Structure 1
């Protein structure tokens, strides 16, 4: 039996990695979708019997696809492949009918084991994996690579925060840009004039790569964060500083570690520095100008479901780091 396979992921890097991880001996024809809406159009034709599905996508995310599959009674085996590895993410997709959940980055060994486990891969098959000519994985560029690496790294940070606070962290799609310092404000999430922030910055360096991780914590989030952490004392600047330092330690530490593992680099991290409390975006950027010239900027906007808690994590790589970064991601561009 020739399996009709659909790989749905907004990342061209992830689509290509997933296709490469499939066993060469598998009897399968592969198609690709860039987001959930495109996947649903293909699924409604009725030819697909196995779907590899990402969760965090524009247009229609993976949760929405699973819901529509149920509502439209589409018969398809769905395997979720995601960087969002929170315990509740797995539970939600399984409740929505997914066969299995595997984390990014995928490995050929894990995929072969899973397919064999569920009887989807017969032994002694000839090599027949093919890609439909009209639906190739897509061209990969440098920014695609950074975006997918950030996707996996932010998932690990969200997982740690979710487990510690017993919450569900809403995962965004990372924004990646190369900016001059004068343009850095454009990388921050748009906010109302009344919004103020507290911010922590922490440097990291290793193997010719250097940068700063900048956490911007919305001041409006402190009330719910205090409730969530069951803080009993008086809410003052000292208490707020403790909270933001705790959040920064979790998100910055886990995200930088996620990057280092994927790039095969050992980063040394400096001491966290408080850039300001209850200040405007522009003031934070002005205080940080001594650190940033031209920079590769990766922005991740975290929020916690059912709570008014929001923060932006920016990873700012120096211009001098770009050559080393390109060497490290070369394997993804092949």
Structure 2
């Protein structure tokens, strides 16, 4: 009997990845939803016997969608597929009735195991990780539309953001609220305007760490609103009782190292490259953000700017991770992302 499968994710790139991960021998009819509200309507129309559900989405996120499904007893078996891999995220969704939780990017073998475990798929295990596929050269890729490229970059960063969030949750022993990453291809002059909107008229401190690999280079920055430091230091539980300038500096470096390191490691894994990291440096303390970044962005004409706003709401803590990748590296990032994705689904 055919199973109606619904894939709910705000990223078209992620929806395609998920669809390609479904075992070939599973008799399914696949539909797609871009957010939870869309998914709920389709479940009511009988299109969601099994729902693969993302967490971070606009309109209605995964938590709200799962709550609605439970409250209204909708006939759908839910498997969460998310870049947010915090233990609390998994526990919250399972407590609301989700069958299981799979981290992005999809592991085909694990997906098949879960489907068989719950009796959703009874076919023979399928071979995964085939080798021998030639890598795709940039010239072989049909030039994607800008919005498709941005969507792919956003999904790439969504996974990296989730890994970094998991590391921060462990550091602070708190749940980290994760946003939808803000990804833009900008001229440097436009970047100045975008930066001004992140921390308008606010005194900030920032740590910078460069990264590089074959054809890929960029800079990662963690930007702290200076008013947050006392709360951050308190959560880190240092031995010192007084919040001094030295202790603020230690907190800034500790958080930045974990956040940037986890994010870049996740990018390396997805792009199948080894990104070399520079030692982190203090870009500036107690300064206007636009002035602080002037020297960083002046050497580039065009950049891919990725802004992720992490927060711990109950402690009134917010800080931003800003990834800047110059224009000449963006094509290489896209090519490697497509290659890595093809390899996982070969």
Q: TM-score, normalised by structure 2?
A: 0.88
Query: How many angstroms does 1:291 deviate by?
Result: 4.8
Higher mean C-alpha deviation, range 270-279 or range 91-100: 270-279
1:162 aligns with 2:176: no
- Counting only pairs closer than 5 Å after superposition, residues 49-198 of structure 1 correspond to structure 2 as 49-123=49-123, 141-188=148-195, 190=197, 193-198=200-205
CA contact (8 A) 1:201 1:273 kept: yes
Cα 1:124/1:210, change in 2 over 3 Å: closer
1:318 aligns with 2:318: no
Structure 2 unaligned spans of 5+: 126-144
Deviations 1:139-161 (A, max 9, x none): 98211111111000111111011
Partner of 1:229: 236
CA contact (8 A) 2:196 2:289 kept: no
Deviations 1:103-155 (A, max 9, x none): 00112211111111111112369xxxxxxxxxxxxx98211111111000111
Q: TM-score, normalised by structure 1?
A: 0.91
1:274 aligns with 2:289: no
In structure 1, how many angstroms separate the alpha carbons of the residues matched to 2:178 and 2:209? 22
Query: How many angstroms does 1:186 deviate by?
Result: 3.6
In structure 2, how many angstroms separate the alpha carbons of the residues matched to 1:47 and 1:326? 33
Structure 1 runs, 4 residues or longer, greater than 4 Å off: 191-194
3-state SS of paired residue (2:197): coil
Comparing both structures, which one devotes a greater share of its residues to helix?
2
Pairwise CA RMSD: 2.0
Give the aligned length: 321
Query: How many angstroms does 1:75 deviate by?
Result: 1.9
Structure 1 unaligned spans of 5+: 126-138
CA contact (8 A) 1:200 1:245 kept: yes
Of 248, 260, 267, the residue aligned with 2:268 is 260
1:240 aligns with 2:248: yes
Query: How many angstroms does 1:188 deviate by?
Result: 3.6
Deviations 1:277-327 (A, max 9, x none): 111122212242345432111111111131111111111112221232232
3-state SS of paired residue (2:293): helix
1:298 aligns with 2:298: no
